[in-house]
């Protein structure tokens, strides 16, 4: 009998849930997630962030509780960002070098509470400067590269001394990865990783983050003089190549979903662990859609996170980390 349809039916493997699981090309697990957390001064503090519904700033005692939560959920790593008190913000961001600052105290608290959870710390001056830039600024408003880099090196060593497992320079100064790697080696921190924000774009998606760390409204000008132009892709590959040559262990693309093409090109070119930051604006858009009854949170979160894995990511920094881990562990 002549078949009335081609022998190959691609839908066959899609019919049953067990079959879909069996042939899935990519799998998302809690181990793929890094949970960004915001630190506030004080004790017993939980400050909801208006532009990031469901996200709060936590005092250090509560950050330690979040670390235990991450451990229970199977989330391997936490990323920390401070909301530095106003009186400690200066033109040169010197609070970044204080071994007793919010970041360093939070790292120590996490290591006491959940020693098996990795801690990633941000290296940049914008949470500490009164002008909101990632580095030192001259009289003309130009962010100084080499002078900033010297402070970033000190900042990285202070964080490593506190117990940070991954140093993540997000400043986009040229040459900073090599300088930080040399300093970490010299100070005996040979096993502290560097995850370079290698392709960090000057993006419109960062607004809620700046609210979270208290830098919105402080910024004089913009960051297009050092963060990447979103028109460029080949330049991202040059940035990644430079950071890897200078000693980065892993690299990051930021933002996430609008730059899946960059993630794919980086992974295919370099075959190294690539991470993406699903940034605050991306998170806020999902939450706004849910609030407007325009989408299901669970489905949106899991679909977007799996998109990063499909593009080639080893992991994702996401504010939905705890929620996603609960869904994946259910």
**For residue 3, what pLDDT band results from cuts at 50, 70 and 90?**
low
Q: What is the pLDDT of residue 330?
A: 59
CA distance linking residue 267 with residue 276, whole number of Å? 11
CATH number for the segment(s) 32-329: 3.20.20.70
CA distance linking residue 104 with residue 63, whole number of Å? 12
Residue pLDDT, tens place only, 148-193: 999 999 999 999 999 999 999 999 999 999 999 999 999 999 999 9
Under DSSP, the state recorded for 46 is: E
Percentage of residues in the chain having pLDDT higher than 90: 91
Q: Is 68 a catalytic residue?
A: no
Contact 269, 295 (CB under 8 A): no
Task: Select which of 200, 223, 267, 309 is catalytic.
Answer: 200
CA distance linking residue 282 with residue 299, whole number of Å? 15
Under DSSP, the state recorded for 268 is: H
246 annotated as a binding-site residue: no
Contact 250, 277 (CB under 8 A): no
Q: What is the pLDDT of residue 215?
A: 74
**For residue 4, what pLDDT band results from cuts at 50, 70 and 90?**
low
Q: Is 267 a catalytic residue?
A: no
Residue pLDDT, tens place only, 299-323: 999 999 999 999 999 999 999 999 9
Which DSSP string corresponds to 57-86?
EE-HHHHHHHHHHHHHHT--EEEEEE---G
Mean pLDDT of 277-293: 97
Q: What is the pLDDT of residue 282?
A: 97
Mean pLDDT of 64-89: 97
Residue pLDDT, tens place only, 216-265: 777 878 999 999 999 999 999 999 999 999 999 999 999 999 999 999 99
Mean pLDDT of 71-78: 98
Q: Has residue 6 got a pLDDT over 80?
A: no
């Amino acid at each position: 009998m002549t078949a009335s349809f081609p022998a190959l039916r691609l839908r066959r493997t899609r019919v049953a849930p067990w079959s879909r699981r069996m042939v899935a090309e990519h799998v998302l697990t809690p181990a793929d997630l890094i949970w960004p957390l915001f630190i506030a001064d004080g004790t017993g503090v939980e400050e909801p962030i208006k532009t990031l519904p469901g996200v709060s700033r936590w005092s250090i005692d509560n950050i330690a509780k979040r670390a235990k939560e991450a451990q229970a959920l199977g989330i391997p790593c936490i990323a920390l960002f401070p909301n530095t008190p106003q009186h400690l913000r200066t033109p040169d961001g010197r609070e970044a070098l204080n071994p007793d600052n919010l970041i360093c105290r939070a790292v120590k608290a996490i290591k006491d509470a959940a020693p098996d959870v990795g801690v990633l710390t941000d290296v940049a001056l914008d949470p500490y400067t009164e002008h909101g830039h990632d580095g030192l600024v001259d009289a003309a408003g130009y962010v100084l590269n080499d002078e900033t880099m010297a402070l970033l090196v000190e900042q990285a060593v202070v964080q490593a001394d506190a117990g940070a497992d991954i140093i993540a320079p997000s400043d986009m100064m040229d040459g900073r990865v090599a300088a930080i790697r040399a300093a970490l080696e010299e100070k005996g921190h040979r096993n502290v990783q560097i995850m370079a924000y290698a392709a960090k774009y000057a993006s419109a998606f960062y607004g809620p983050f700046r609210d979270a760390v208290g830098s919105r409204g402080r910024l004089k000008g913009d960051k297009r003089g050092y963060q990447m132009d979103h028109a460029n892709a080949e330049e991202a590959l040059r940035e990644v190549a430079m950071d890897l040559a200078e000693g980065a262990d892993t690299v990051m693309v930021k933002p996430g979903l609008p730059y899946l093409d960059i993630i794919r090109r980086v992974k295919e070119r370099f075959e190294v662990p690539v991470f993406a930051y699903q940034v605050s604006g991306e998170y806020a858009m999902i939450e706004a859609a849910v609030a407007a009854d325009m989408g299901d949170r669970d489905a949106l979160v899991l679909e977007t996170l799996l998109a990063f894995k499909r593009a080639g990511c080893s992991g994702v920094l996401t504010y939905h980390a705890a929620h996603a881990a609960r869904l994946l562990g259910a």
